[in-house]
Amino acid sequence: MLDNGNGLLFSPAEPWRKERKRITHDLNLDYNRLYEDRTDERNEILKQILGELNEGVFLQGPITFHYGIHTKIGKGTFINFNFTCQDDAQVTIGENCNFGPNVTIVTPVHPMRADERRLLRCPDGSEKRLCWAKPVRVGNDCWLGANVVICPGVTIGDNCVIGAGSVVVRSIPADSFAAGNPCKVIREITEADSLARKPEILGDCSVIGPD
């Protein structure tokens, strides 16, 4: 069903697209009306929304998915309040990620010229409003701070931390701390960042370390 992650123009008004979006938007509302302890009911709704839902995923809600079916979420991932995912193209979120409040992922792209945003001519001669879309991927074990926006075509590598309020317009390599608007790599995340080196924070707790 997904045929718009290849950079080619498509019409958001195609009948199957409009119907799928209507279904997903209604399911968003159903999910958001439920108390968070209604976990079984909420998970059943997520299974109807998402292309792939793995074990241990928790979405605090409210949520806003556009298609839903183009999104896959890996096991153990936690997504905080007000998550928005405009998944016209594929969105892949890895395992054991943590998203702060108000994270937004967008995949569609529109023409820069105003007249081209209004109408373009299709191969059959008809004139329609068209756009295109680029997939987004978030790797495993990533932490995205509050109000992060991930733009079309971006890949965030494994083990990254993205600072609050960042607008990610370019891909970020693995093991990076990146922040800003536009988001840029600040530095590599290293052993020096371990809480084992921060006893004032660690207190009586201890670091388990990698498996």
| Residue-range domain boundaries for the chain | 15-202
Alpha carbon distance 147, 164 (integer Å): 6
Model confidence at 143, in pLDDT bands (50, 70, 90)? Answer: very high
Alpha carbon distance 109, 131 (integer Å): 6
Concerning whether 70 is annotated as a catalytic residue, the answer is: no
Q: What is the pTM of this model?
A: 0.94
Judged on CB neighbours under 10 Å (0-12, 13-18, 19+), 58 is: middle
The domain 15-202 having CATH identifier 3.40.50.1980: the answer here is: no
Alpha carbon distance 20, 26 (integer Å): 10
> Three-state SS for 83?
strand
Q: Could you read off the pLDDT of 26-52 as tens digits, one per residue? A: 999 999 999 999 999 999 999 999 999
Q: Could you read off the pLDDT of 76-134 as tens digits, one per residue? A: 999 999 999 999 999 999 999 999 999 999 999 999 999 999 999 999 999 999 999 99
